[in-house]
C-alpha cells in the first residue's frame, strides 16, 4: 500500500490561489505609441488571442504544482509486515564439514544420503521454526569459519547452510576452535539466552584450543552448548568377501561431547538416523522455546522522485513555451 509520511503538506495545495488573492497583480499604465481609430477592437482581438494561447500553460502549472505537493508529502510503498522479536535469544549453529560427514549412513525418503545432506534438511526445518531468534552459522573442519553472523534473516542462514560442502573448511575436525569462535561472536551480545548447537560426527583432531578448555570459557561467558553426535552404530558394507557389518561412528568422541554439554548446562544428543536427528531438533525447540514477545515492521520504498520528476518536466515545458514567445 502507498503511505504518505507528511500528509499535512496537502494543506499547501491552495497556496497559489491564496497568494493571488492577497497580492493581486498591478496593471501597468502604458501610453500607446500609435493611435488608430477603433483601438477598442484591436484590444479585444489581442486579449482573445492571449487568452486562447495562455490557457494551456496555466493548466500545466496547476498540474505541476499538484505533483510537487504530492512529492513533498513523501509517498512511500509499504511492503508486507515482517515479524520480529522485541527481545530474543542468540542461537548459533556449528556444523561439521570434515571428510567423515560424507559417510552415507542416513536414509531420507528411502534414499541413502550422506550425513551433511541429512543435517541440511533437518537443521533447515529447525532454522525455519526459530521465528524471533537471531541465528548465526559456523562451519568447521580443520578450521572454524563464521559463515553467517547473528541475524533475524533465517532465509539467508538457510541458504548459506545449503550451499556448504564437505571439505570446504578442511578434512579434519576442530571442535574446540568452533566453540571458541562462538564464544567470541556471542560475548558482546546482550540477549536473554545464548545458545550454541554443535553437530559433529568425530573427535577433535585439529585446532588451537581443546574442546574442554573452550567449554570452560563458554561456561564463564554464560553460553549454553547442546552437542549432537551423528552417525549410525552399524552399517552393512558389501565387498569381495561378502557383506559385513562395520561401525561408521567408531571415531565419534561421545565422552568429550557429553562433557562439553555438562560444563555449559546443555545436553548431549545421539543421532543414529534421520528420525532421531529430527526428534533432537524438536526437543531443542522445547528446551529453548521461541520468544513470544514480538513486533512487526514493514519495509519502505521511497516514491517521491516520481511525482517530483513529473513536476520538473511540466515546469520545463512551460518554460520552453515562454521562451518561444519571446
Write out the chain's pLDDT in tens, 326 residues: 788 888 898 888 888 888 878 876 666 555 555 555 544 544 554 555 444 556 777 888 888 899 999 999 988 888 777 665 555 678 899 999 988 888 887 888 888 888 889 889 889 888 888 877 889 999 999 999 999 998 888 899 999 999 999 888 888 889 999 999 999 988 877 656 788 999 998 888 888 899 999 999 999 988 899 999 888 776 655 655 555 555 566 778 889 999 999 999 999 998 888 888 888 888 888 877 765 555 666 778 888 889 899 989 988 888 887 776 65
The SS3 of residue 51 is helix
d(CA 76, CA 307): 12
Q: Has this prediction a pTM greater than 0.85?
A: no
Q: Identify whether the C-beta of residue 95 lies closer than 8 Å to the C-beta of residue 138.
A: yes
Report the run of H or E that residue 174 belongs to, with start and end. none
> How far is it, in rounded angstroms, from Cα 263 to Cα 280?
20
φ and ψ at residue 130, rounded to 5 degrees:
-85, 55
List the one residue out of 204, 252, 227, 228 whose CA is nearest residue 103.
Answer: 252
Decide: helix, strand or coil at residue 205. coil
Q: For residue 291, how many C-alpha atoms fall within 13 Å in the half-sphere facing its CB?
A: 22
Amino acid at each position: 500500500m502507498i503511505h504518505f509520511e507528511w500528509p499535512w503538506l496537502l494543506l499547501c495545495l491552495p497556496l497559489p490561489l491564496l497568494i493571488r488573492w492577497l497580492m493581486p497583480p498591478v496593471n501597468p499604465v502604458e501610453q500607446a505609441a500609435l493611435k488608430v481609430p477603433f483601438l477598442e477592437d484591436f484590444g479585444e482581438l489581442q486579449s482573445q488571442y492571449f487568452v486562447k494561447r495562455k490557457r494551456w500553460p496555466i493548466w500545466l502549472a496547476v498540474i505541476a504544482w499538484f505533483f510537487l505537493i504530492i512529492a513533498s508529502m513523501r509517498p512511500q510503498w509499504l511492503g508486507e509486515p515482517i515479524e520480529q522479536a522485541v527481545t530474543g535469544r542468540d542461537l548459533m549453529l556449528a556444523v561439521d564439514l570434515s571428510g567423515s560427514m560424507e559417510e552415507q549412513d542416513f536414509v531420507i525418503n528411502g534414499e541413502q544420503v550422506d550425513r551433511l545432506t541429512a543435517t541440511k534438511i533437518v537443521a533447515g526445518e529447525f532454522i525455519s521454526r526459530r521465528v524471533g531468534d537471531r541465528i548465526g552459522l559456523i562451519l568447521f573442519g580443520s578450521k572454524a569459519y563464521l559463515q553467517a553472523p547473528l541475524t533475524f534473516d533465517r532465509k539467508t542462514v538457510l541458504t548459506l547452510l545449503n550451499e556448504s560442502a564437505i571439505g570446504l573448511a578442511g578434512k579434519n575436525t576442530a571442535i574446540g576452535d568452533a566453540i571458541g569462535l562462538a564464544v567470541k561472536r556471542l560475548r558482546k551480545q546482550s540477549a536473554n539466552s545464548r545458545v550454541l548447537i554443535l553437530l559433529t560426527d568425530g573427535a577433535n583432531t585439529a585446532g588451537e584450543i581443546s574442546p574442554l578448555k573452550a567449554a570452560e570459557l563458554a561456561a564463564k561467558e554464560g553460553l549454553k552448548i547442546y552437542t549432537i553426535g551423528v552417525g549410525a552404530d552399524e552399517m552393512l558394507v558389501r565387498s569381495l568377501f561378502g557383506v559385513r557389518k562395520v561401525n561408521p561412528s567408531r571415531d565419534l568422541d561421545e565422552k568429550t561431547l557429553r562433557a562439553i554439554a555438562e560444563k555449559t548446562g546443555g545436553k548431549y544428543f545421539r543421532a543414529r538416523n534421520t528420525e532421531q536427528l529430527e526428534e533432537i531438533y524438536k526437543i531443542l525447540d522445547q528446551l529453548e522455546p521461541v520468544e513470544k514477545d514480538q513486533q512487526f515492521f514493514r519495509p519502505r520504498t521511497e516514491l517521491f522522485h516520481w511525482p517530483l520528476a513529473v513536476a520538473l518536466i511540466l515546469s520545463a515545458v512551460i518554460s520552453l513555451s515562454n521562451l518561444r514567445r519571446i
